[in-house]
Amino acid sequence: MPPPSSPSPSPSAVVTPGNINLKTTFTNIVILIPIVVASMAVPVLMHNRDTTSAIIRDVVAFATPRCAVIANGMFAGALVFVSMVDIPAVLPHLRRSQRILWWTTGRNFMVPLGIGSIMSSTTAALTYEQNATRAAWILAAGETLFVLLWTCFVMVRGAIIPLLDLRDAKDSAHGEMLERDLEVLVRRFEAAHNVRVFVQLAAFATIVAVALSPDMR
């Protein structure tokens, strides 16, 4: 008599990237819409200084740089979390389907947050008249842009796609090969990831230094 087959999980019980599209899309909208609106409004308000209410100008000048600090801090913190938690404790133990879900959810959170950091830093630069202060904000935006481009063109092709394509082993021999391959790919991911952690922490340090300057007090 053949052994009884285990019941297959119902479609609603299977967690796939498609199941979280609505949630992640809503999160992206919540993150991006205020930043996009502010990025469009601030140049207009600051350019038309004579016709813009002084109260509105003061609110914009106060809120925009601080929003940029928060966005960049969240982005840097998320990257540090990957270094301290995902790489040593999570990623090496994930099966292929879990790695796909890990990358999808991380990408859907980090991309809008990174874009928001760039836009908010660039917008904050427009609220200042001093060239040195503007240059610091633009430098921070450029560093965050580098992080996104580094992820897209270096990490995705060199480490992330190979990690996602690494199949789960079905026997002990393949299991040993899988462990070695997975370890190599995780180390490659870690080395590339450390670059973007360093750059984004530098961006965050730059805008914190600007935020603590007398011009923002």
Per-residue pLDDT of the chain (217 residues; tens, 9 = 90+): 444 444 444 443 344 444 445 555 566 666 666 566 555 555 555 555 555 566 666 666 677 788 888 889 999 999 999 999 999 999 988 988 899 989 988 888 888 889 888 988 888 887 777 888 889 999 999 999 999 999 999 999 999 999 999 887 766 666 777 888 889 999 999 999 999 999 999 999 999 988 877 655 4
- CA-nearest of 46, 60, 43, 65 to 121 is 65
Rounded CA-CA distance 124/120 in Å is: 6
- Cβ neighbors of 117 (< 8 A, separation 6 or more) are 68, 71, 72, 74, 75, 141, 144, 203
Rounded CA-CA distance 12/152 in Å is: 32
- CA-nearest of 110, 136, 119, 121 to 193 is 110
- CA-nearest of 209, 6, 213, 182 to 87 is 182
Structure tokens belonging to residue 62: 């106060």
**Quick check: pTM over 0.85?**
no
